[in-house]
Amino acid sequence: MTVTQESDLTPASNSVSPTVLQALIPVAVLVCLLSLSVYLFGEDASSGPNQIALCVGAAVAALVGWNNGQTWAEIENSIVTGINVAIKPLLILFCVGSLIGSWIMSGTVPTMIYYSLLILDPSIFYAASCVICALIALSIGSSWTVAGTVGIALIGASGGMGLSPEITAGAIISGAYFGDKMSPLSETTNLAPAVAGTDLFTHIGHMVWTTIPSIIIALILFTFIGLSIDSNSTSGDLEITLRLISENFEINVLMLLPVIVLLVMANKKFPPIPTILTGAMIGVVIALIFQRPAIMNLAGEAPNVFLALFKGVWYTLFDGFALSSGNETLDDLMTRGGMSSMLSVTWLVLCAMVFGAVMDHTGLLRRLVEYALSFVHSTGSLIATTLLTCIGANIITSDQYISVVLPGRMYKLEFEKRGLDMKNLSRTLEDAGTITSPLVPWNTCGAYMAGTLGVATFAYLPYCFFNLVNPVIAAIYGFLNFKIAPALEMEEQLA
């Protein structure tokens, strides 16, 4: 993903500035409807109910804007602009859907699952998954790429071991976002210091103080959970899964070629869409060479072998791969992907961007931020307010980058007034803006993780230990004034 354009944050010139109460009305409506959605529909909330809640919230915000003097044409234009911001992430989602299907069909995902089952003991699986994802994300700077490649295999491996996919997803996201946050190749890691006004490596160095303790706590928790697993009870399922995978797919190291190519391209900073599509197409070629029986079974009846293979590949890319091995567990693991699998996610992101765009254009979002500043009376409260604003921006605007840009712009002057180095601001922006984005179901990151890993956001949220702990540690540091650097001028005066 690339950095989105900064939002205007300025209501129409002929409109009346909204009050705090007006700004809170659409947010309150949205929170109530989303809560009711989860209560009534459970895990199915993101397949339609949440979208309606976001649309109703956007309608309420639009009515407030209209009452304050804005025209429908202005609001409509802001909605179009907001949707335009989401187009690239949506295209990536569709490409990832095809990638997942082609990699299962090619045997790439089954091979990664097979080797993971051979190497990883169930007792260390969660902690090891977190470390693996952290190291890869650190090297390529992309949490999305990690989740869409290694993450898929780890979710499959957890199913083969009879482990929790929710905890596994939490471990994958914890590791992926640690690496994404600390990598100099990451877009948000470059964006935060640029917005705050500091340099990249100063920013990364300052993040170490909050990020390393957070990942250590997360790894301790994942290790503790793993120690409670009885490895002997999972050995039977493990052997069955290994046998069934080898019976239904050709397994060898050549199947890992699409992963290697994709990771190399990501590390070289090739554009995401061509990179993902290249990985998908290499998967198709490998499938046609090594996995013809699986493709033929998927295709069903066809006039000849060529058309059968063509039909199977085509079906996989648009509707995902489907396995019929006779084993329900393995079939569930291997029946995934396709562009169509991302349609509900796309719907969710579009509705979320509509709500965020209306809140932005009508000035309601800016009013909420200004109101939050009125409670800032100390360094600790400034850090905490910035953290909460980043989290709120992730919820309201549904965009990770806006959650970094908006608070960065709004609080930069306040950090300067209090004589604080801008690296404190850049670190705080990442401690909440980057980290909490996958915890919001309708945020582009939360929708992507849920769609890619096949686990509902609210299901994996309690196990994203790193993402939950990091903002808390940042707030504690602020109130204790620990590792809060003064501005260079103030340091010179003190010296």
**pLDDT above 50 for 4:** no
C-alpha 291: how far from chain center: 31
Average pLDDT over residues 291-295: 91
Average pLDDT over residues 334-362: 87
CB neighbourhood size of 492 (10 A): 9
- In the prediction, which pLDDT does 6 show? 43
Q: Please list the residues that pair with 321 across neighbouring strands.
A: 336
CA distances from 250 to 115, 299, 318 (A): 13, 18, 23
Could you read off the pLDDT of 348-357 as tens digits, one per residue?
888 888 988 8
| Cβ(146)–Cβ(176) below 8 Å | yes
**pLDDT above 70 for 14:** no
- In the prediction, which pLDDT does 345 show? 81
**pLDDT above 80 for 425:** yes
In the DSSP assignment, the letter for residue 120 is -
More confident residue, 49 or 47: 49
Average pLDDT over residues 16-26: 92
Q: How far apart (Å, rounded) are the C-alpha atoms in residues 280 and 238?
A: 28
| Cβ(287)–Cβ(210) below 8 Å | no
Q: Which amino acid is at 64?
A: V
Average pLDDT over residues 142-156: 89
| Cβ(485)–Cβ(72) below 8 Å | no
- In the prediction, which pLDDT does 407 show? 86
Q: Which of 69, 68, 59 is nearest to 29 (CA)?
A: 59
Element holding 236 (H helix, E strand) = helix 231-248
Tokens linked to 226: 């793993």
- In the prediction, which pLDDT does 329 show? 74
Tokens linked to 458: 């609210």
Q: Please list the residues that pair with 336 across neighbouring strands.
A: 321
Q: Which of 385, 403, 326 is nearest to 7 (CA)?
A: 403
List, as own/partner pairs, every contact residues 238-244 make where C-beta atoms lie below 8 angstroms and the sequence separation is at least 24, other chains included: 238/117, 238/122, 238/160, 238/161, 238/162, 240/327, 241/117, 241/159, 241/160, 241/161, 241/329, 241/330, 242/114, 242/117, 242/118, 242/160, 244/325, 244/327, 244/330
List, as own/partner pairs, every contact residues 76-81 make where C-beta atoms lie below 8 angstroms and the sequence separation is at least 24, other chains included: 78/357, 78/358, 78/360, 78/361, 79/354, 79/357, 79/358, 81/357
Q: Which amino acid is at 362?
A: T
Q: How far apart (Å, rounded) are the C-alpha atoms in residues 274 and 266?
A: 10
Q: 49-53, 105-109, 176-180, 299-303: which has the minimum mean pLDDT?
A: 299-303
Q: Which amino acid is at 101?
A: G
| Cβ(449)–Cβ(437) below 8 Å | no
Tokens linked to 323: 């396995």
Banded pLDDT at 494 (limits 50, 70, 90): very low
Coil, strand or helix at 156: helix
Q: 104-108, 402-406, 453-457: which has the minimum mean pLDDT?
A: 402-406
Average pLDDT over residues 387-391: 93
Banded pLDDT at 8 (limits 50, 70, 90): very low
Banded pLDDT at 235 (limits 50, 70, 90): low
| Cβ(11)–Cβ(362) below 8 Å | yes
**3-state percent breakdown (helix, strand, coil) of the chain, nearest 5:** 80, 0, 20
Q: Which of 4, 82, 2 is nearest to 402 (CA)?
A: 4
Coil, strand or helix at 313: helix
Tokens linked to 27: 């947010």
- List helix spans (H) across 291-363: 292-299, 305-319, 328-334, 343-361
Average pLDDT over residues 63-74: 93
- In the prediction, which pLDDT does 191 show? 86
Q: How much is the mean pLDDT over the chain?
A: 87
Cα-only R_g, the chain? 23
**Size (the chain), residues:** 495
Q: Please list the residues that pair with 486 across neighbouring strands.
A: 420
- In the prediction, which pLDDT does 400 show? 86
Q: How far apart (Å, rounded) are the C-alpha atoms in residues 206 and 215?
A: 15
User: What are the φ/ψ torsions at residue 420 (nearest 5 degrees)?
Assistant: -105, 140
More confident residue, 304 or 471: 471
Q: Is 227 exposed, middle or buried (0-12, 13-18, 19+ CB in 10 A)?
A: exposed
